[in-house]
Every structure is written in structure tokens, then in C-alpha cells.
Structure 1
Amino acid sequence: MPEQLVRVVVADDQQVVREGLVALLGLIDGVEVVGAAANGVQAIELVAGGNVDVVLMDLRMPVLDGVKATARITAEHPKVAVLVLTTYADDESIALALRAGARGYLTKDAGRVEIGAALHATAAGQSTFDPEVSRKLVAGLNPTPIPRTDGLTARESEVLKLIAQGLSNPEIAEHLFIGETTVKTHINNTFAKIGARHRAEAVRYAYRHGLAD
């Protein structure tokens, strides 16, 4: 069964990189580049034009940087995912991007296959991270589970565990034999109880409290 078409906007201020990414994505099955932006303002304008599933976003850009553009896009167009593709993998850059709402984070060492898989995953609602970024996200976690006082129900704990496994909302619904609306309700309640603003924070919480395999 062919993968669902993912419509992508490429945002990078370096023309040679931007054009190279457009050419590279053109070789990936199930991916269509619908626009290219040289800064965050252009990226927002392209997303506002509609028919965009994922923005492949650089962080350091003029006029409006990738973090601010990510925050605007995720707030104004919540159905559009942002996948960061950048040279930088320092803790501050990762934290700023995730707080802004980025669903995934790759470095420019990523290859065509990895980028293609990440685009499809983020379009499907999953979080995806470069191995180095994943290592940094988990590096500060205590290997001994911390006692929980979150008040999660058994079902909410189960949903959180599935989020930590990288499942999308539709996949969680199928796994638990419940509707997607019910899944969203469980996720909203869970995030409120644990103080998570996005899936990356929820995954960290799950690892910290022994809810992730």
C-alpha cells in the first residue's frame, strides 16, 4: 500500500542548501515539495496558502528565525507539523525548538532515507528525533523511576506509554480499540496532569517515571 503523500515546505536561508533539499526531497516516494522559503516569514506565508503537511525548518534564518516561525505555525496552523533540520544539536537549540512546538528534530547529517521517514512520521502525528538529539533528551533522566503523584488513571498511563513508543493518535486508537476523539481527550488530560506542553516532554516524563520500555 503506497504511503500517503506528504506535502512539504522547505525553509532554509542558504540558497544552495535550500535548492539541494528540494532536489533531494524530489527523489523520495510519497513526498512533494510545494514551496521553498528563505526565512521564517516566507515559510509562514507558504503555510497560510494551504495544502502543506510538514515544514522542514532550519533554525538560524534572517528576518524571522526558525524557532519563532515554528511557534507561529504551530499556533496558527496546528494541523501542520514542523520538522527541524539544522546544523545545531546543542541543548538550547533543541529545547527552544521543542518548546515552540516542533514535532521532530534532525541534524543536517541526516540522509535521504532518514529525512523521508521523519517527514512521513511527523505528518502522521509522531515525534521523531536524530539519535544524538534522542540521547540528549534522555541523558538527564534518572535511571531509577521517580515516584509518581500525577493522578493518572490506568488508561491515561497506558496512552502515555504508547506515546513514548512513538505511536500516533490513530495508532493509539487502533491499539486500544477506542476512537481518536477519546484518545485526544486522554492526551489532553494526561498532559494537564503531568505538566507537558508537547509530546517530547511527555516522552521524557514517561522515561523519568518508569512508564517507557
Structure 2
Amino acid sequence: MMPTSQRRLRVALVEDQPLFRTMLERTLTDAGDLEVVAAVGTVTEARRVLTPGAADVVVLDIDLPDGNGIALGVVLRRAQPDLGVLLLSAHDAMELLLDLPRDVAHGWCYLSKTSTTSESALLHAVRAAAAGETVLDPALLERVSPRAGSTVARLTHRQYEVLRLLAQGLSNAGIADRLKITEKSVQNHVYAVYSTLGIDAAPALNPRVSAALRLLEETGPSL
């Protein structure tokens, strides 16, 4: 057996459209560091095969023939607290992450089937979910702006840029590269964002997850 640090991440797929499920399975398998251990199309099948420890990440369609992917994710997460969850939806439903029970709110990612078309975005979200991080759909984040009077609205333009990239799951180095600034500058901006939003930089819940959820909570569609 390969050492845990070297073994491939085990991914389970719960997607009711056979063609899309097959495409997802091929994309994930081709990545090399991922292994698809189950690919099913219903909540019933998923609850039968996804026993605790069977997978590191589950990719869930929100709308399933016999139930809701989010509710299924909550059940699976409570049975396996370290399970990463990536939600896929044909609709813009990111705000549903705000309704997650607090005890299972970490390590959920969300991508839209219609706006996210890059394999790299999918693979990044799967790996981030496995690490307990939160990644929100980049294209959907481009369409939102801070609500008037919100805490997020108090951020400077640069701080808001950093927060939005953070919510996409970019590291400080990745944000620095995207914005063409130094990594130290990014770190300073991140701490400023935490301070403005009142986020503890060393809590039990990953502060990057908290910041991403706050962005989701305090923004709405751009006019």
C-alpha cells in the first residue's frame, strides 16, 4: 500500500446525468493524483456505497432524482467529518452554502455547471475540498458586488479583489501572481480583510473559509 501522503485522493461522484457523470469520471481519472472510487446517480445508491472512509471527496449534483445533494452531503459529512464536498449545480445556488449547519460548514466547494467550463477549475475545487477549504465559482463571483452598508462594503478596492480571489481558493502566492503584487502585500491585505470583517486569524474554523462565506453572505448580483 502506498503511504497516505502519496496515495491518490479518492473521489466519489453522485450525478444523475450519465454522460456528464462519465465526463467527470474521465477528467478526474486523467488527473493522475485522483482516483474515482464510486460513480452513482441517486441519493439511495450513494448512501449504500459511500460508507465512512470510502472516499476523501464527494462531488454532488444538487438536484438528484430521489433527493437533494446538499442534504446528502450533510449526512455523509456527519458520518465522516473529514470528507470534502464539492457541489455542482445547473443553477446559481451558491447562497445555499449559507444554510449549512455550522458543524459541517467547512470543506464545501461550489461550482456551476454552466459557468465553470475549465477542467483546471474542477480539479482545483476537488483538491481544495479534500483539504477542508472552500472554493466558490469564479465566474459567479465576478457577477456580485457588496451590499450597501455591509462589512464587506467597507473594504478597499484592493482588499475586495484579494477577498474575491481568496474565495476562489487561490493561495497568497496565487493571488500575488494574479494581481502582480508581492506575496507580502497579499498577506497584509488578507490580515486587513480579516480585521475589517472581524474574523479571528487562528480559530477552529479556517479563517479563509469564514472570509469566503462572509463574502457570499454580504454580496448580491451586480446591478
TM-score computed with the length of structure 1 as normaliser: 0.63
Within 5 Å, which residues of 2 pair with 1:128-207?
128-135=135-142, 139-140=146-147, 141=150, 142-144=152-154, 186-188=202-204, 199=209, 201-205=210-214
Structure 1 unaligned spans of 5+:
146-162, 169-174, 176-185, 192-197
Alignment partner, residue 133 of structure 2: 126
Indicate if the aligned counterparts of 1:7 and 1:31 stay in contact, CA closer than 8 A.
yes
Q: Which amino acid aligns with 2:110?
A: Y
Within 5 Å, which residues of 2 pair with 1:67-146?
67-89=70-92, 93-100=93-100, 101=105, 103-108=108-113, 109-135=116-142, 139-140=146-147, 141=150, 142-144=152-154
Cα separation, partners in 2 of 1:97 and 1:14, compared to 1, 3 Å? farther
Cα separation, partners in 2 of 1:98 and 1:19, compared to 1, 3 Å? farther
Looking at structure 1, the residues matched to 168 and 89 of structure 2 have their Cα atoms a distance apart, in angstroms, of 24
Percent identity between matched residues is 25
Deviation beyond 6 Å, 4+ runs, structure 1: 206-209
What's the CA shift for 1:72? Answer: 1.1
* Residues 146-187 of structure 1: CA deviation (Å, up to 9, x unaligned): xxxxxxxxxxxxxxxxx879589xxxxxx9xxxxxxxxxx42
Q: Secondary structure at the match of 1:125?
A: coil
Aligned residue pairs: how many? 168
What's the CA shift for 1:129? Answer: 1.5
Indicate if the aligned counterparts of 1:8 and 1:35 stay in contact, CA closer than 8 A.
yes
- Is 1:64 the counterpart of 2:67 in the alignment? yes
Structure 2 unaligned spans of 5+:
156-165, 172-186, 188-201, 219-223
RMSD: 3.7
Q: Secondary structure at the match of 1:26?
A: helix
- Is 1:40 the counterpart of 2:40 in the alignment? no
Looking at structure 2, the residues matched to 95 and 107 of structure 1 have their Cα atoms a distance apart, in angstroms, of 12
* Residues 93-146 of structure 1: CA deviation (Å, up to 9, x unaligned): 22224533461111223321111111111111211111133346764354225x
Looking at structure 2, the residues matched to 189 and 84 of structure 1 have their Cα atoms a distance apart, in angstroms, of 20
Q: Secondary structure at the match of 1:188?
A: coil
Alignment partner, residue 56 of structure 2: 53
Alignment partner, residue 19 of structure 1: 22
135-144 vs 64-73, greater mean Cα deviation? 135-144
